Amino acid sequence: MFYDWTYIILIPAIIFTMYAQGKVNSTFNKYLRVNSQKGYTGVEVARMILDSEGLENIAIQLTNGHLSDHYDPRKRVLRLSNAVYNGTSVASLGVAAHEVGHAIQHFRGYAPLMIRNSLVPIASFGSQAAWILFLIGFIFAPESNLMNIGIVFFLTVIFFHIITLPVEFNASSRAIMLLESQGVLSSAEITPAKKVLNAAALTYVASTIVAISQLLRLLLLRGRRR
């Protein structure tokens, strides 16, 4: 099972994942060197937009790591990496506004985000249980339903990745609209900000493709074992 031709299915997905990761890093680093005309920092822009949306209760914290920016819906905290928190580049402001977009989604009850948040524990359990059940069924009980049950669990992972796509794309759309409407970035600066967010979105597309490729591989392995 571990050295078979079905691994070929994963190769295009892995290549695309490597491309997406390289794209987001190169695009972010490129526009990290392009300072915005008004000189706002990421934390200033995040605070400005949050307050304008009535989200004064959302705290903003500095977090470690590179591109580790995220919104925590449980604690209602926006966490920005140093390059974004203190950065004045169009890349920094674009990422800061994107994370604010998630906070706005949460505040307004954006359905795909609510669904994704509710799926987190289910998908986490499903990703582990799927492989355990599938392997037990594949090796010891090919005539049982264990492989099928494992595949059903893995479908929760697929759905989680799929529902993540509109969440991320919507957050980026909100970010660009807010940066433009509040005059944070000029019209000339909006384009590079979009490029940064579009590159970041590729990583979520890549994750979805990898998950679907894994599902196809499981289906092929099940069919071959039987």
Rg, the chain, Cα only: 20
Report the distance separating Cα 188 and Cα 218, nearest Å.
47
Amino acid at 85: Y
First to last CA, the chain: 13
Give me the residue label for tokens 């929760």.
Answer: 156
Nearest in space to 161 (alpha carbons), one of 204, 219, 203: 204
Which two structure tokens, joined as six digits, stand for 210? 């990898």
Give dist(CA 55, CA 143) in Å, integer.
55
Residue 78 and residue 59 in contact, taking contact as beta carbons nearer than 8 Å: yes
How far apart (Å, rounded) are the C-alpha atoms in residues 179 and 206?
27
Q: Which two tokens stand for residue 98?
A: 């994107």
The catalytic residues are 99
Which is it for the CA torsion 210, 104, 70, 47, positive or negative?
positive
Selection from 113, 88, 118 nearest residue 102 by Cα: 113
